[in-house]
């Protein structure tokens, strides 16, 4: 039987996004990519320095994940928005400077040992959007809200 920190997919145990913390590197997540976008270089907006993703697990919990441009070439043909993946081994970071797009207290970063496997025919309840009314956005008093606004 699975413990409270894991979810069973097939015969394999996977961690929950809600449980991610800096205590270990060997996280194993089954997640969907809700949103994937390039972070432009401040000195050259037509180029990027990393790709950021919003990952969601089957419980609906989200976490931000980054891949440096130098490593993205290994993953770019595999990763797609709304694809489902088994991702393992990340660097777990605490909030710092920059854009923070989820309310999760940690952020994941790919490194040399991160592995990604695309899963097909995986039942997965995507709930990528948490819509807020205009009145709700206008009423926000704090500058550091966790809302990702798409201009498209």
Domain boundaries, the chain: 6-138
Given a cut of 50, whether residue 41 has pLDDT beyond it is: yes
Which tokens go with 26? 């060997």
Q: What is the pTM of this model?
A: 0.76
Per-residue pLDDT band for 12 (boundaries 50, 70, 90) equals low
Q: Which CATH superfamily is domain 6-138 in?
A: Nucleic acid-binding proteins (2.40.50.140)
**Nearest Cα residue to 124 out of 67, 66, 55, 63:** 55
Segment 118-137, tens digit of pLDDT: 998 767 777 766 666 667 76
Q: Round to whole Å and give the CA distance between 34 and 129.
A: 9
Per-residue pLDDT band for 148 (boundaries 50, 70, 90) equals low
Q: What is the pLDDT of residue 2?
A: 36
Asked if 107 and 98 touch (Cβ cutoff 8 Å), the reply is no
Asked if 58 and 84 touch (Cβ cutoff 8 Å), the reply is no
Which tokens go with 58? 């089957």
Q: Round to whole Å and give the CA distance between 61 and 96.
A: 21
Segment 46-105, tens digit of pLDDT: 999 999 999 999 888 999 999 999 988 888 889 999 899 999 999 998 867 667 778 888
């Amino acid at each position: 039987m699975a413990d409270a920190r894991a979810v069973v997919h097939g015969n394999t145990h996977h961690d929950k996004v809600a449980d991610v913390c800096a205590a270990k590197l060997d996280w194993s997540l089954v997640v969907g990519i809700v949103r994937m976008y390039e972070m432009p270089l401040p000195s050259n907006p037509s180029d990027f320095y990393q790709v950021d993703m919003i990952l969601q697990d089957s419980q609906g919990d989200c976490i931000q994940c980054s891949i440096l441009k130098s490593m993205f070439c290994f993953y770019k043909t595999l990763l797609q928005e709304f694809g489902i993946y088994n991702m393992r081994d990340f660097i777990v970071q605490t909030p710092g400077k920059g854009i923070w797009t989820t309310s999760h207290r940690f952020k994941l970063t790919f490194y040399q040992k991160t592995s990604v496997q695309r899963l097909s025919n995986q039942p997965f309840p995507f709930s990528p959007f948490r819509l807020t009314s205009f009145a709700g956005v206008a009423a926000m008093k704090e500058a550091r809200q966790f809302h990702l606004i798409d201009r498209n």
